[in-house]
Amino acid sequence: MSLDFFEIGHRGAAGYIAENTVESVKKAMELGATGIEVDVHVCASGELVVFHDFTLDRVTNGTGEIAKKTLSELKQLKVLGEFEIPTLEEVVLALDGVPLLNIELKGQNTAKPVARFVERHVEKKGWAWRDFLVSSFQKSLLEQVYATHLPIMLGVLTDTDLEEALGFAQRIQAVSVHPDYTMLTQEHVKNIQSNNMQVITYTINDKVHIERLKAYGVDGIISDFPDRL
């Protein structure tokens, strides 16, 4: 990662347009985001799809588990009555000059397909390894990506134990720790950075908290409103 500070749109620009849609990603870029964060699952027909929840009920007109639906079935649904559920490939095709795509592994069985996806885009489509950051709360998924021995940048998400997250990040040679912003003090930030890790914190939408975390010296902030960063 090469920027001094990453302004990362959470699920695109979720504060403005339906989360994890191509339209939301494009909105985040319009608002000046220097990174985009999206969530991925593997659907029943094997494609990587961009969606947060394990079930469809909250944000679509469908119901049931996303992993049990084929891509063609998912494409018949609407997110908040208007938008399509995109594939990860569709999101990448929509990116235009954004320095970082943060792919959060949500569903089971996402680690190896995402690793192959990143490898293919680096080797055949002109992307660089530094353009992708793969993160997760789920240690087993990050361990599976690490076990591929590909130079994929890894980030460890945590909302419970910073020391544990840092220790795990060191074991899998991650580049960053991604704590809930309410966990962080300036001392925490400096401690993580002193261990050669970047601190990318989530999900901050209030300007006061944004400025406080910037003052702590974090390396990036994930927000539903990337224009506030």
- Output the tens digit of pLDDT for each of the chain's 229 residues: 656 899 999 999 999 999 999 999 999 999 999 999 999 999 999 999 999 999 999 999 999 999 999 999 999 999 999 999 999 999 999 998 888 999 999 999 999 999 999 999 999 999 999 999 999 999 999 999 999 999 999 999 999 999 999 999 999 999 999 999 999 999 999 999 999 999 999 999 999 999 999 999 999 999 999 999 9
The verdict on whether 149 is a catalytic residue reads no
In whole angstroms, what is the distance from residue 182 CA to residue 172 CA? 25
Inside any domain, residue 57: yes
What's the confidence (pLDDT) of residue 2? 53
Residue 118 placed within a domain = yes
Domain assignment present for residue 30? The answer is yes
pLDDT at 96: 82
Domain assignment present for 78: yes
10 as an active site residue: the answer is: yes
- The pTM of this model reads 0.97
Residue 113: closest CA among 76, 67, 158, 73? 67
Indicate the number of domains in the chain. 1
Q: What CATH number did the domain enclosing 171 receive?
A: 3.20.20.190
What is the predicted pLDDT for the residue at 98? 84
Residue 1 domain-assigned? no
Res 4: pLDDT: 81
The residue annotated as part of the active site, out of 41, 52, 121, 188, is: 52
For tokens 């945590």, name the residue.
158
Crossing angle of helices 207-216 and 186-194, rounded to 10°: 40
Has residue 151 been placed in a domain? yes
Instruction: Give CA–CA dist 64/206, Å, rounded.
Output: 33
Q: Is residue 53 part of a domain?
A: yes
- Structural domain including 126 reads 6-228
Annotated active-site residue in 10, 121, 178, 188: 10
Half-sphere exposure of 206 (CA within 13 A, CB side): 6
